Amino acid sequence: MLSATTRTTPQPRAPRPQRTRRRSVGIVLARVGQCFVAFTVAQVLAYMMVPPPLTMFMVEDRIAELLHPRKGYDFRYEWVAYSDISDHAKVAVIAAEDQKFSEHFGFDFESVEKAIADHERGRKLRGASTISQQVAKNLFLWPGKNPVRKGLEAYYTVLIEALWPKRRILEVYLNTAEFGNGIYGVKAASEEFFDKPPSDLSRYEAALLAGVLPNPKRLRADRPSSYLERRTYNIVVFMRRIGGTEYLEGFWGGAS
């Protein structure tokens, strides 16, 4: 007589501790990433509608001044609407800083390649950041050139270009760029250097302000050096070359 055999149900294997830890870490990282994206998108959307009270560069500048007071330093920052800024000022900063502003999506790779090629020929390495990149850097990030900061700059640049019209990018840039020692925004600069509102800036005055942007702590629009005068002349030439104030008509949102 054959004896019946008892079948046993195989028990599921317990998950390996290492695999469980990896899964837990992955879940945590995914949630952190989701929170980061949600927070940064909310930041960019908020500043699309309201003027930023300060930028990260302004905060860093104020802290540096408290730690090491500078002669002649006087922090000034006051927001002014896009429609209250001279069109000459808008065209001047584009001519000086980013002549393909209306064409690119935040990055001018052609200018980057040209800057690298010039550096390899022995020339001084010049900046090739677009206006959108400078807004991202000034508004949200800290000074520096480490890979993490540069990566965040690229990330914020993409967000800004995706969510803001070009008109808003230019408006924020003109209001937050440093034009002098502690002087931020075209309104403060226009009143400080020319004793007039930014709506009344002439083409030459606007070019002077744009000319100081590479080094606003040393160059002064009200006392231009020979270097600044030459740079201003070149900016005026570029303003004409890109079409003058008619250039603004191609923006999403139009001119003022």
Task: Give the CATH number for residue 175.
Answer: 1.10.3810.10
Residue 49 maps to a domain = yes
Distance CA 97, CA 133 (A): 11
pLDDT (0 to 100) of residue 117: 54
User: Per DSSP, what are the bridge partners of residue 178?
Assistant: 184
35 occurs within a structural domain: yes
255 in a structural domain? no
Taking only the tens place, the pLDDT of each residue in 169-228 is 999 999 999 999 999 999 999 999 999 999 999 999 999 999 999 999 899 999 999 999
Residues with Cβ within 8 Å of residue 244, at least 6 apart in sequence: 91
Confidence band for 125, pLDDT divided at 50, 70 and 90:
very low
DSSP state of 196: S
What is this structure's pTM?
A: 0.84
3-state helix, strand, coil in the chain (%, to 5): 60, 5, 40
Show the domain range for 184.
Answer: 29-72+81-250
Contact 89, 199 (CB under 8 A): no
The answer as to whether 16 is a domain residue is no
Half-sphere exposure for 118 (CA within 13 Å, toward CB): 12
Specify the pLDDT at position 243: 93
- Structurally, the chain folds into a number of domains equal to 1
Is 20 inside a domain boundary? no
3-state secondary structure of 170: helix
Domain assignment present for residue 169? The answer is yes
- Domain membership of residue 18 (yes or no) is no
Q: Tokens at residue 209, please?
A: 């302000």
- Residue located via tokens 């050139």: 145
pLDDT tens digit sequence for 39-79: 999 999 999 999 999 999 999 999 988 898 888 788 999 99
- Which among 172, 179, 164 has a CA at the least distance from the CA of 106? 164
Question: Is 3 part of a structural domain of the chain?
Answer: no
